[in-house]
Structures are given as structure tokens and as C-alpha cells.
Amino acid sequence: MKRDEFAHTLEQALLRPDVDRRSVEEACAAAVRDHLGALVVLPCYVRIAAPLLAGSGVKPVSVVGFPLGATLSEVKAREARLLFDQGAEELDMVLHLPWFFSGEYDAVREDIAGVVQEARGHVVKVILETSLLDEGGIVKACQLARDAGASFVKTSTGFGGGGATEEAVGLMRRTLGNRMGIKASGGIRTLDQALSLLEAGADRLGTSGAMDLLAQWDQRFRG
């Protein structure tokens, strides 16, 4: 894998509540400079990020029902449509965890499908919060996301008390084969972690430290 190929797997996340407009503008410039795959911003910043990233190859991405997934389905669908209209190219939505843990699987599937319908062909990733699920739960959540028409499943919000693991990513890949993409996110701070997750089956990596990972890449392979 070349540096640009690695960089393109990285989706830099700016999802903390204390992120200000200047930070978003600076992150857009850095993402373009380093040829990242995407920049994931809070919904209120899509209007700012989208024009700054236009034509750069870096996708403006935002989140729906974040971080708990417990938003009303109608609100999730409306939020998705507004964000796509404002320039988001992909959305990461959170699985409706309360319904999932209640065994209301049809409602969970319909919740995802409502966002997928509003996406109109754009990529929708479903965040499973794998640290809260056992193996059977991960398999079931992957199946629901697949059946609802989502493009990707994603491990974690980064706010749920756990992050991506090779074991979870491997199970997701075995469950889905090559029918969906997998985004590993949460707690990815070292190059070794990143490469191990890609080897386990991840296609993309969500991280708040993309530039640090690239610096580690440069130190190891260019030093």
C-alpha cells in the first residue's frame, strides 16, 4: 500500500461539541493537502465544509441520529435529506440501539431504510456501536443494515465507551463477505492499529488523528 492509498482510507472526524468554525476550515485545508478520503463534520458544519472540499476528492461526510441513535425515524430521514441537500456526499447514521436491544428488529430495519431512501444513491454507513454488542448482536446488526440497503457498517461512534477491534471487524467481514464496506472507528491512534484493522477487513478508518497516523507512516516508511 502506498501513502496516498493509505491516506484515502482515512476519514478525519471532527465530532466533538467544542469544534468551532475555524477548526473546520483548518481541517478542510489539511484534508485536501494530505489527500484524505473524507472529513466527517457535525451537521451544523456541512454548509461550511462542502464548498471548501468541492472538487478536491475529499468527501464531506456528516452524521445522523448521532451519537445515541435514539432519534425518531422521521427526524433521521429528514436530517439526512437536509444534509445531502447542503452538500454532504455520505452519511454515518447510528443504529437505533434502544429498539435493537428491545428486539424490535423490523423497526430498526425500517429506521435504516428511511435514511437510505432519502440518500437517493449516496453512501449510508450504519454505526453499530460494537463495544455494546456480543457476537450474535454484531451479526444481527450487520444483517439488518444489509437488508435495509445500507452501503457500509461502522464499528463505533467514539462516544460509546469502546472502539474498533480486529475481532469485531473480522466478524463483520465474515458476516457480510464483500457485499458491503466496513468502516472501523474509535480509538485508532497508532499506525499498527490502523494497518491491523485494514488487514482484518476494514475498507475505511474513522479517526480524530488522521494527521498523526500519516506522520507515523512517514516516520516508518520514509525515515
Q: Is 154 a catalytic residue?
A: yes
- Active-site position among 59, 76, 140, 154: 154
Grid coordinates representing 139 are 451479526
* Cα 163 to chain centroid, rounded: 12
Q: Is 134 a catalytic residue?
A: no
- Active-site position among 76, 125, 140, 183: 183
Q: Is 92 a catalytic residue?
A: yes
Q: Which three-class secondary structure state does DSSP give residue 204?
A: strand
Alpha helices (runs of H) in 3-96, residue ranges in sequence order: 3-9, 21-33, 46-53, 73-85
- Active-site position among 76, 92, 125, 140: 92
Buried b (16+ CB within 10 A) or exposed e, 141-153: bbebbbebebbbb
Q: Which three-class secondary structure state does DSSP give residue 165?
A: coil
Peptide linkage before 67 cis (omega within 30 of 0): yes
Active centre residues (catalytic)? 92, 154, 183
